[in-house]
Amino acid sequence: MQGITIGANVLLLINILFAVTIVFLERKNPGATWAWLMVVFFLPYAGFVLYLLIGLEGRKRNTFIVKSGMDRELFKSYSASDFYVERAGALEEKYPNFECVWPDSDWCAHNGLIFLNFVGGLGFFCDDNLVEVYHDGNTKFEKLLKDLESAKEFIHLQYYIMRNDELGAKLISVLAKKAGEGVEVRFLQDCMGKPRGHKKMFEPLMKAGGFLGIFLPMYLFRINYRNHRKICVIDGTIGYIGGLNIGDEYLGKSKRFGNWRDAHVRIEGNSVKELNLRFIMDWNYTRPDNIVPLSERYFPPTKDFDGVKMQIVSSGPDTRWPNIRDGYIKMIAGAKRSIYIQTPYFVPDDSIFETLKIAGLSGIDVRIMIPGKPDHPFVYWAALSYLDELVAAGVKCYKYHDGFVHSKLVMIDSQVTSVGTANIDIRSFKLNFEINAFIYDKEITAKFEQQFFEDIAHCANIDREFYDMRGNWSKVKESVSRLISPLL
């Protein structure tokens, strides 16, 4: 009996040492520290194993410092290239500095956002883009496949999830065909999102001369630091960015979710170069044996449309600042009339949460939409706990029930839209590699807002009555999920 007691005390001491270790390792993030301490004490020993597998940063700092350095060197080469210098000179003549893109009118409120995205996120301001908006996968992939068929020089594809299904097979077939015709085809796939049997699935592409890169192979089970970016660049003149991955579920064919609502854009114009630059940065990190040089082949002259103004902004472990999160905060804080948010995962950090509450209390029309059919229950319950406080601050909140809403949209004042891959959650802000387009255009924003209000017709209100009627068990789930939200 005494031996059992001694053994239990030893194990307790080990668990305490584990907890102390976490405190020191997570000293820069108090929220994550307390969340992990709770996991360790409520799940003794198993909690620390979980921390080692999915929480420990390991070699992250060194690994991504190297990538960040590579990216900066590539950007320096890009910014010294003739096509960049010519564009910068033209914009400098047109807009003497980025703080004065709109010296007058109600648009001038967004000059600070443009400057922030340029200085912090290296988001080059382009005012010559043609943009098409997609709200579902069927129209997007129909157009994408046609564009791929017309490729002459190269195809650069980067996706988080690729399914081994009908859509995935159709895409590989087109890519293999183009590679066989002599088109350079590169496909960058995140390791966690790769399809089952990916080697066999990509085999036709590889045999035809295409190239495959697997981002950050998972030597251990690790859900952090995933490349969540979705980029397609065709011949340097056409680009795609948004929330849609590749799979039949994104066409609304999932039995679990049914209709799939999302947001994606097709771009022609100089912003395509910014998409291609980001692809090359990620590709060179993944495949150093297949470096893509900066040349006119990959950055050809594009048509100068008298069109949409935008910036392409990236963020992640490979950037100094949380650029997309900072852009969201700047948008929300600068809004005068309206803020509309559509996101599948709403687990905001304190800065965004407080800014939204202040906006609601200031009388701004703030509306937030999340899925009514969640794919991650803990994230859903955590979201409800945050929305409870926002409802009290006057924010209108909704649960979408006509399938699944996967759009990552922030729209303000019917003028500016951010669309891309970043959710309103800590994982998107700190752990994943993300990319968004910040679009300064009333017509494009109107298209997204129109769809947003059409979606409200398929929503249930999350209001005071909703919270008053929920049971105690729901309150417990929300409270526990809120406590561990820094880990979600």
DSSP string, 420-443: ES--EEHIIIIISBEEEEEEE-HH
Question: Average of pLDDT values for 409-425?
Answer: 97
Average pLDDT for residues 61-75, to the nearest whole number? 81
Instruction: Please tell me the predicted confidence (pLDDT) of residue 370.
Output: 97
Contact 302, 267 (CB under 8 A): no
The pLDDT value given to residue 306: 75
Q: Say whether 235 is catalytic.
A: yes
Highest mean pLDDT among 49-63, 221-235, 294-308: 221-235
- Model confidence over 436-455: pLDDT tens digits? 999 999 999 999 999 999 99
Instruction: Please return the burial class of 400, using the count of CB atoms within 10 Å of its CB with bins 0-12, 13-18 and 19+.
Output: buried
- Report the pLDDT value the prediction gives residue 164, as an integer from 0 to 100: 94
Instruction: Write down the pLDDT at residue 327.
Output: 97
pLDDT confidence of 13, banded at 50, 70, 90? low
Question: What pLDDT is stored for residue 465 in this prediction?
Answer: 93
Query: Is 455 assigned a catalytic role?
Result: no
In this structure, which long-range contacts are made by residues 193-200, counting pairs with CB atoms below 8 Å and at least 24 apart in sequence? Answer: 193/159, 193/160, 193/161, 193/162, 193/226, 193/245, 194/162, 195/162, 195/163, 195/164, 195/168, 196/164, 197/164, 198/162, 198/164
Closest by alpha carbon to 71, among 279, 323, 327?
279
Asked if residue 55 has pLDDT above 70, the reply is: no
Contact 83, 236 (CB under 8 A): no
Catalytic site includes residue 406: yes
Mean pLDDT estimate for the chain: 86
More confident residue, 189 or 290: 189
- Give the total residue count for the chain: 488
- Average pLDDT over every residue of 305-321: 91
**Model confidence band, residue 71 (pLDDT cutoffs 50, 70, 90):** confident
Residue type, 337: R
Reported confidence tier of residue 28, pLDDT bands at 50, 70, 90: low
Q: 206 pLDDT exceeds 90? A: yes
Name the catalytic one among 127, 235, 282, 318.
235
More confident residue, 16 or 216: 216
Reported as a single tens digit per residue, the pLDDT across 276-306 is 999 999 999 998 777 777 788 899 987 777 7
Q: What is the pLDDT of residues 355-410, one digit of tens each?
A: 999 999 999 999 999 999 888 888 999 999 999 999 999 999 999 999 999 999 99
What local confidence, expressed as pLDDT, does residue 81 receive?
Answer: 77
Q: For position 384, what pLDDT does the model report?
A: 93
Given a cut of 90, whether residue 47 has pLDDT beyond it is no
> Tokens 């059992």 identify what position?
4
Catalytic residue among 110, 273, 408, 447: 408
Asked whether the predicted pLDDT for residue 56 surpasses 60, the reply is no
pLDDT band of residue 62 (cuts 50, 70, 90) is low
**pLDDT of 59 strictly over 60:** no
Q: pLDDT tier at 230 (50, 70, 90 boundaries)?
A: very high
408 is catalytic: yes
Domains for the chain: give ranges and CATH numbers.
Answer: 2-56 (no CATH), 61-310 (3.30.870.10), 323-487 (3.30.870.10)
Q: State the pTM of this model.
A: 0.89
Q: Name the active-site residue from 110, 178, 228, 264.
A: 228
Question: Residue 487's pLDDT is what?
Answer: 61
Among candidate residues 372, 369, 388, the one with its CA nearest the CA of residue 380: 372
pLDDT score at 9? 60
6, pLDDT greater than 80: no
Q: What is the pLDDT of residues 93-143, one digit of tens each?
A: 777 666 667 666 667 778 889 989 988 878 889 989 999 999 999 999 999
- What per-residue confidence (pLDDT) applies to 312? 97
Highest mean pLDDT among 2-6, 26-30, 177-181 belongs to: 177-181
